[in-house]
């Protein structure tokens, strides 16, 4: 399997090279040069597999330069950190299926990919005899999942900036109670935007970047998307007995378009998906795109589902590449147009194609909270606010003739305040969080000043 950039300047990469490159050198995103497809017999074979074995069967088709035994080991260890035997169990609740993606160490779906990516980075670095320093800024979720993915690895150090006092108490604890020697939490006296600006400036210093072998762990790495393809197959398999192996629909709470893009790939690989429902909160650029062909920037508004408070979806370019039939020059043109005008226009045939690929709904804050309340009243199950956005979209747009599987992207306890406000009941803390506020912490508080942060990294880099 070979990889190419959406912008046409990079091709012929191996899987390993694609993982280590992250963002393509021409500024684009990496995609496989062909998408493997499964026939009905192969699909049926997958339906009964355990999660790690299924992950191996899917991922090995794309990662054909990693020996089978090694890939199996990377996946087994990644998913041993989950606290449910099914890894991503499926529960039937109030007429829909809930695919629980929050049984990993930080209680959100990003663990599914980052537990794998952390092991994969450590493996590839060991093979090359190299080390890496990961630097990133977080508003909460991604940082803790990235830290959990690489803690204890002896060839990776990780530096994560978060805005001091401005992430939720649980998110802060999930980061700062990781005391492994290779983890450096930096609380900056400033905002999330300051953190992002500082990280950009650090990566912009190319000497510093290459001297310290800086790496990123953001959602554009191909291996993250790939790891997420697996649970679409898994969920389909879990209900295939009662569904006679038939079609399903998925509803996906969407921010950076990574998760739903994995669903789009699963469909192109032959998984019988009748509907892919793209659910956004009030930050609805992607829902406007699907419904009206209106892909235009608006300002970000705060919602109870902060991990979806996004306007520029970093994985969208991957879909554009397919929408433009693999025409990299058009992708380049579109990205330049969007950077200049903050909008993109689509032809009627393109809009027809988009409508064939997705349905979409934007769910506002009042509807989100009402969905948490009503769902709890109907079946006693507590949804986190991100998941509630997807459930609302599923109940509104789902085809009644097929089972609808709603991706549950976070544990309700992770966003306990909003859930309590909506449902009148605080979600119980899962065992992994019990006593977390009593554990030792490690965190450095620094000014939102690039020079200071660079000096700190310089001192602690591997
Ligand atoms: C990251 C995240 C999302 C959005 O996923 P994308 O891949 O960015 O679309 C949704 N819910 C939660 C809880 C998240 O952490």
Is residue 121 included in any domain, yes or no?
Answer: no
pLDDT in tens, 54-74: 999 999 999 999 999 999 999
Atom of ligand 1 nearest to the CA of 387: 11
In three state form, how does the secondary structure of the chain look? CCEEECCCCCCCECHHHHHHHCCCCCCCCEEECCCCCCCHHHHHHHCCCCHHHHHHHHHCCCCCCCCHHHHHHHHHHHHHCCCCCCCCCEEEECCEEEEECCCCCCCECHHHHHHHHHHHHHHHHHHHCCCEEEEEECCCHHHHHHHHHHCCCCCEEEEEEEECCCCCHHHHHHHHCCCCCCEEEEEEECCHHHHHHHHHHHHHCHHHHHHCCEECCCCCCHHHHHHHHHHHHHHHHHCCCCCCCCCEEEEEECCCCHHHHHHHHHHHCCCCEEEEEEEECCCCHHHHHHHHCCEECCCCCCCCCHHHCCCCCCCHHHHHHHHCCCCHHHHHHHHHHHHHHCEECCCHHHHHHHHHHCEEEECCHHHHHHHHHHHHHHHCCCCCHHHHHHHHHHHHHCCCCCCEEEEECECHHHHHHHHHHHHCCCCCCCHHHCCHHHCCCCCEEEECCHHHHHHHHHHHCC
Find the 41 Cα to ligand 1 centroid distance in Å: 32
Share of the chain above pLDDT 90, in %: 88
Residue 115 pLDDT > 80: yes
Answer yes or no: is pLDDT of 217 > 80.
Answer: no
Answer yes or no: is pLDDT of 168 > 90. Answer: no
Q: What is the mean pLDDT of residues 85-91?
A: 97
Average pLDDT over residues 31-54: 96
Q: Is residue 243 part of a domain?
A: yes
Q: Is residue 316 part of a domain?
A: yes
* Domain span at 385: 90-107+223-423
**Ligand 1 closest atom vs CA 386:** 11
417 domain residue, yes or no: yes
Distance 56 CA to ligand 1 centre (A): 24
Counting atoms of ligand 1 from 1, which one is nearest the CA of 141? Answer: 15
Domain count, the chain: 1
9 assigned to some structural domain: no
> Higher-confidence residue: 404 or 193?
404
Residues 304-356: tens digit of each pLDDT: 998 898 888 889 999 999 999 999 999 999 999 999 999 999 999 999 999 99
Nearest CA to ligand 1 atom 2: 307
CA of 451 to the centre of ligand 1 (A): 31
Q: Which atom of ligand 1 is nearest to the CA of 256?
A: 8
Report whether pLDDT(218) > 80: no
Q: How far apart are CA 300 and CA 320, in angstroms?
A: 22
Which of 106, 107, 108 for a ligand 1 pocket mutation test, highest count of atoms within 8 Å of Cβ? 108
| 141 band by pLDDT with thresholds 50, 70 and 90 | confident
Nearest CA residue ID for atom 1, ligand 1: 307
pLDDT score at 162: 94
Residue nearest to atom 14 of ligand 1 (CA): 307
pLDDT surpassing 80 at residue 394: yes
pLDDT grade for 216, boundaries at 50, 70 and 90: confident
Does residue 98 fall inside a structural domain?
A: yes
Q: Catalytic residue numbers?
A: 110
Mean pLDDT rounded to a whole number for the chain = 95
- Quote the ligand 1 centre to 101 CA distance (angstroms): 11
Centre of ligand 1 from the C-alpha of residue 257, in Å? 8
In-domain check, residue 213: no
Q: Report residues whose beta carbon is within 6 angstroms of any ligand 1 atom.
A: 108, 110, 141, 219, 253-259, 307-308, 386, 409-410
Question: Domain containing 379 — which CATH number?
Answer: 3.40.50.1100
Q: Tell me, yes or no, whether 413 lies in a domain.
A: yes
């Amino acid at each position: 399997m070979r990889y190419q950039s959406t912008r046409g300047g990079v091709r012929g990469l191996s899987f390993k090279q694609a993982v280590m490159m992250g963002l393509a050198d021409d500024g684009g995103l990496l995609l496989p040069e062909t998408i493997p497809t499964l026939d009905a017999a192969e699909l049926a074979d997958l339906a009964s597999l355990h999660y790690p074995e299924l992950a191996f069967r899917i991922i090995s088709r794309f990662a054909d330069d990693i020996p089978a035994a090694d890939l199996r080991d990377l996946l087994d260890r990644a998913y041993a950190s989950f606290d449910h035997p099914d890894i991503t169990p499926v529960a039937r609740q109030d007429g829909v299926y809930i695919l629980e993606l929050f049984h990993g160490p930080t209680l959100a779906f990003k663990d599914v990919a980052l537990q794998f990516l952390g092991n994969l980075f450590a493996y590839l670095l060991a093979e090359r005899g190299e080390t890496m320093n990961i630097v990133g800024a977080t508003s909460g979720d991604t940082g803790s999942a990235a830290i959990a993915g690489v803690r204890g690895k002896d060839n990776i150090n990780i530096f994560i900036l978060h805005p001091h006092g401005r992430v939720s108490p649980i998110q802060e604890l999930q980061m700062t109670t990781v005391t492994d020697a290779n983890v450096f939490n930096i609380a900056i006296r400033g905002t999330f935007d300051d953190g992002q600006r500082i990280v950009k400036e650090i990566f912009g210093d190319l000497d510093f970047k290459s001297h310290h072998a800086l790496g990123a762990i953001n959602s554009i790495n191909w291996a993250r998307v790939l790891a997420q393809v697996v649970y679409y197959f898994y969920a389909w398999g879990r209900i295939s007995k009662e569904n006679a192996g038939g079609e399903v629909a998925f509803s996906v709470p969407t921010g950076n378009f990574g998760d739903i893009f994995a669903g789009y790939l699963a469909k192109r690989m032959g998984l019988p998906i009748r509907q892919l429902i793209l659910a956004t909160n009030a930050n609805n650029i992607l829902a406007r795109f699907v419904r009206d062909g209106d892909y235009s920037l608006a300002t970000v508004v705060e919602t109870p589902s902060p991990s979806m408070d996004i306007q520029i979806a970093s994985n969208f370019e991957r879909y554009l590449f397919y929408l433009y039939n693999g025409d990299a020059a058009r992708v380049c043109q579109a990205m330049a147009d969007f950077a200049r005008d903050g909008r993109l226009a689509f032809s009627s045939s393109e809009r027809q194609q988009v409508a064939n690929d997705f349905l979409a709904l934007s769910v506002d804050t009042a509807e989100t909270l009402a969905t948490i309340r009503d769902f709890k009243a109907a079946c006693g199950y507590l949804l986190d606010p991100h998941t509630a956005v997807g459930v609302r979209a599923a109940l509104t747009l789902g085809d009644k003739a097929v089972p609808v599987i709603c991706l549950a992207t976070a544990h309700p306890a992770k966003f306990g305040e909003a859930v309590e406000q909506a449902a009148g009941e605080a979600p119980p803390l899962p065992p992994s969080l019990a006593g977390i506020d009593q554990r030792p912490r490690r965190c450095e508080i620094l000014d939102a000043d690039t020079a200071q942060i660079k000096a700190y990294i310089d001192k602690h880099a591997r």
